[in-house]
Structure 1
């Protein structure tokens, strides 16, 4: 389940409390034709420094000594915060980082961290006390309870932390991966201007698809960071009936590449007085199936539609006259269809 992103503001108490009870649950289906590779991390190569309101720690404490290794840390380990810096007087050091799954690698960038006090104010909101876009930030906080919330694209996780008298190293398990979609027709890639993708949670094949898109209007080759699980992708080529559906699986720490294969073509219609003649302006067009279902309507001399392969009828209305022509669409064969006005 997706958790919402919050601006630098308070969060309603019931919502933040519910966040602590949520976990990202992997689904079971696998997307046909998809390939998974190690995830190339999106986001800036040098993440922005922490926002105003707190200070990132220096590498050494004022005394020249570093703090002892926090519980669970292994000196020399490749994970962040094997040794935490000394906190200023009256503060406790909290070092946080995220991992792709319990046994996954640390997430190196593209994270947003927010730390909330775990006690709501009189208004019922949990106050935001610190935030950072570092991959593994360190916070100097007062002793007490906090809610640590991290987002990675559309994936997010929240957990409660209680700070006592000693430094603490907190690992947030973030089961998330990336999805990169493409579409082609007759083995030729479709440009971004002509294709888009809507992503739904769940599996269409198993009848467990959400009714509202999780992400609408994704572009080809865009890397979308999502919670681990199964998603249903709806690829729309053009704006008529060239629509293809497929299930894909996103794995933690992996980039899933999926290509949707359309069987469609681009058709341009012309109303002419004779074959090869000049197109007639102000023509009203309807494209219907042989059974009479309307696929697309337009007005103009050169309407262009992307239609899935099959049989169609083009109906042209101009100057009080109506003419029609049957035509066939073959996948990948863009062409011009003339309707001769008799």
Structure 2
């Protein structure tokens, strides 16, 4: 065991305890960021186990119940296990996982801190501690927990994935790229690692490599029969940012086909068509986008441009007014300078 890891394992439980004391539940809830770095890309994975019957809670293991989101059944089974086995570190971890899934991050941290005082060798505890800290808006404290998880379990691809995501969030793109390559070496079929690897390459100015990586993600999604628009959207955003609007049409149409409720896919498709001068095609697409997400100011801005090009002055004025109201209120989604990109060109994953 490295001296660095030994030092972390002495200090990190105390840090968790301090975090739990620093925040009242009310303050913690106020700091939980909607759409944090883990929410849209990652679903935390505990210990998974197979079962012959997913409907009978008496025949499902505790981690499987948590994995299925059957938290009431999981709590009941956890109470039974505590009564039989006492306060074991692994049971405390499962309780913390339930609390995390319920967005009770402080309580989850408290149970993890208790688990670490009993045993500090479980990498899953460190992973979950890092995720809790990110969700509390304390990303600055989360990194050492992901590092510790990787050191304890070098072949745990999820530990490396979380660490890579954290490095990406800190804009350490070169290190993120290295870590995400390691994730893919450990788990070649893990789609999200390809997506984030593409982001890391894009941020390093390696656009052509990023495009190839997004295509790999798309091929993997198709092979696995995954109905996910995400890799298509990431590819299309990059192509649009490079002014390769014609090339962006195919992935955007596929994204719309996969997710009929995605206003983002329609806004991006409408943007590409607008830049190509195909206003008659762009109009219904953007109208659908605005209907799906009325507060998407980018859709309204693009609609204004399309109406103006089509000579519909009153409609253009109406959309411009809507855009201005959303822009001034600060409540609209996205901006006309950054359509469809969740973090902005050269500034992914804040």
TM-score range (shorter-chain normalised) is under 0.3
TM-score normalised by L of structure 1: 0.25
Greater share of residues in helix: 2
Q: TM-score, normalised by structure 2?
A: 0.25
Higher Cα Rg, which structure: 1
